Structure 1
Amino acid sequence: MKRIVTLLFATLASPALSQGACPAEVPFPDPCLVGNWIGENSAVIRLQAAIDSMPLPDAERTVIMGMSPVLGMTVFDDGLYATLPFHQDMEVITVTEEDTVSVEMNLAIGTQVGFIWGDGTNLQFCTTGDSFVALQVDAESTLGGSSSTMITPGGMGGFTPVITYQCSANTLTYQVQLPAPIGTVDYYLERFSDARFPAEFRALMDDRFGVE
């Protein structure tokens, strides 16, 4: 389960979490990547399938997933990108003859900032600094035990997934190749004009980075 939670961070937060800090010189992006993007990914579906694929002997397990979060990203001319913050939750209930254990996980992701570039086939990200990423885990047992833990992992422990992408005038899709039991996580994003992207997000970017 710990391995799956780590993969969850890398896919739901941003693939950049698994790709490390930015190099001294960052390539300019594929011009098609520049713009505002809003969409979703299949991480929640893949996570549910991964947990369901690991049966427990003499136990029954139920996974309750929150709705897949809306993902938002702006990419500027020099490749600087920033993502919209979001939240994701899930609950895993395990029932045995002796006990019922409920584990609630709440993932909070702050704005991720870094650089993105691609060569028409493979996509790469890097991060420019720390951003708020935290997972609150609360467990409770019908036998009376309970615990609460805050996890703030720092990425994938050296694993760098291959990311392929396809970009057109109105859509951006990319595929993050993760090991079993997660597999490939697909991202589906649509391009939005500046006028339709949240004004408060543009104001935040201007305040923090001097870009509009």
Structure 2
Amino acid sequence: MAFSRHSAHFIFRSATCSAGLAAALAAFTLPATAQTPCPPPAGATVDRCLVGAWIGTNNAMTKLIEGFERMGAADLITDMTADMSHTVAVRVFDDGFFSTIPFNRNLEMQDFDDRTGDITITQFDLRVDTATGYYWTEGDRLKFCSSGGTAIFGATVSGPEGSSSMTMPVPGGGDFVPDMTYTCSGDEFSMTVALPQPIGDVDYFLQRVDPARLPEELADILRPDGG
């Protein structure tokens, strides 16, 4: 699919200046790139309902597209996210330790200039590593700290005049800690993550699964060292 050079540069500039947009990109997995370092505060406890293995989905794609619609670039982000997986998974242990599955997405857009014959290629890369840390709960609030895992968004534009690249951490800063509310009952766990505008609230819906039934590749990831 051909994209105009103006449009490609628009999305490139937007990525560099919108913390809310970058945060939503990371939200395709779980909001586990917390900038609050571990360990959790003394006396913190986790809702026992959360202990276990969970797999589910979220509405991050819908929120991302809505955000781009407000920026006038809905078609571009629709193409960018068309085949993104909605699946998220997290394992929570008795002491609140958690781990999540990694995520990677690459996209290349090409623009052909009919007047000059020049081709401009824009490449995007979103990488979210396996995140680990600790959950604890306070009423209906889900709190967390991070002991590992990062998310990086990068873009490279290559054309007849050379190449330029940028990378940025997601969700965009060491002081970003989203507010999260949750409900958990039986085998159902849902939470809402409040991200900056233009994205807003992202909802997660997860179902409990037997850890023994996790696919081997997920079981290896969702297990602490030596666990």
Q: What is the TM-score when the length of structure 1 is the normalising length? A: 0.78
Say if 1:31 and 1:77, in contact at 8 Å, map to a contact too. yes
Partner of 1:86: 103
Between the aligned partners of 1:51 and 1:94, the Cα distance in structure 2 is: 20
Structure 1 unpaired stretches of 5+: none
Say if 1:71 and 1:86, in contact at 8 Å, map to a contact too. no
The 1:31–1:178 alpha-carbon spacing in structure 2 relative to 1, beyond 3 Å, is same
Partner of 2:58: 41
The 1:102–1:190 alpha-carbon spacing in structure 2 relative to 1, beyond 3 Å, is farther
Q: Deviations over 1:85-129 (max 9, x none)?
A: 122345678999999976442212221000012234111111013
Deviates more, 1:108-117 or 1:24-33: 24-33
Partner of 1:133: 151
The 1:113–1:18 alpha-carbon spacing in structure 2 relative to 1, beyond 3 Å, is closer
Partner of 1:62: 76
- Deviation, 1:30, is 0.2
Between the aligned partners of 1:185 and 1:204, the Cα distance in structure 2 is: 24
SS class of match (1:6):
helix
* Matched letter for residue 62 of structure 1: L
Between the aligned partners of 1:137 and 1:26, the Cα distance in structure 2 is: 42
- Deviation, 1:160, is 2.7
* Identical amino acids, percent of aligned pairs: 33
The 1:154–1:167 alpha-carbon spacing in structure 2 relative to 1, beyond 3 Å, is closer
Q: Which has the higher contact order (CA 8 A, sep 6+)?
A: 2
Say if 2:90 and 2:222, in contact at 8 Å, map to a contact too. no
Say if 1:26 and 1:115, in contact at 8 Å, map to a contact too. no
Structure 2 unpaired stretches of 5+: 1-13
- Deviation, 1:181, is 0.6
Between the aligned partners of 2:209 and 2:198, the Cα distance in structure 1 is: 34
| 1:165 paired to 2:179 | no
- What are the equivalent positions in structure 2 for 1:4-19 lying under 5 Å apart? 4-19=20-35
Between the aligned partners of 1:117 and 1:33, the Cα distance in structure 2 is: 10
Between the aligned partners of 1:194 and 1:135, the Cα distance in structure 2 is: 31
Say if 2:21 and 2:67, in contact at 8 Å, map to a contact too. no
SS class of match (1:77):
coil
The 1:155–1:54 alpha-carbon spacing in structure 2 relative to 1, beyond 3 Å, is closer
* Matched letter for residue 147 of structure 1: S
- Deviation, 1:26, is 6.1
Calculate the aligned-residue CA RMSD, in Å: 3.3
The 1:161–1:31 alpha-carbon spacing in structure 2 relative to 1, beyond 3 Å, is same
Partner of 1:108: 127
Aligned residues: 205
SS class of match (1:135):
strand
Say if 1:105 and 1:138, in contact at 8 Å, map to a contact too. yes
